[in-house]
Amino acid sequence: MVEQAGDWLESAITRHVLEQLAQWRPTSRDVDAASFGLEGPTRNRELLAVMEALCDAGLVMYEAIVVRNRAPCFRDAVITPSGYAALQAMRRKDSR
């Protein structure tokens, strides 16, 4: 789980979310934890924290958060150009 404010960008869930949204780019999608293959009892809370942080940072956009089957669903989620650039920077850092 993303515990501290500075850790969210380095979390595996953040990277996974950005990677998946980049694959779907430029199409927006309704996404939830299952869309990203996230599992475990805290998956919805973790995804909510990551998506809100990514949106606040301007890396991801979504129309609204709705609740489906007691879980958050992000309507029309898409990676932004800034999010794609951040992902590219992460990939370059990994390749060093």
Domains of the chain in sequence order: 5-95 (1.10.10.10)
pTM of the model: 0.85
36-39 long-range Cβ contacts below 8 angstroms, 24+ apart = 38/13
> Could you give the 3-state DSSP secondary structure of residue 80?
coil
Compute the distance between CA of residue 96 and CA of residue 81 in angstroms, rounded to an integer. Answer: 23
Cβ-count burial 37-64 (b if 16+ within 10 Å, e if not): ebeeeebbebbbbbbbbbbeeebbbbee
> pLDDT at position 8, please?
63
> pLDDT at position 7, please?
58
Over range 82-86, report the average pLDDT.
Answer: 94
Q: What is the mean pLDDT of the chain?
A: 89
Structure tokens at 93: 């850092």
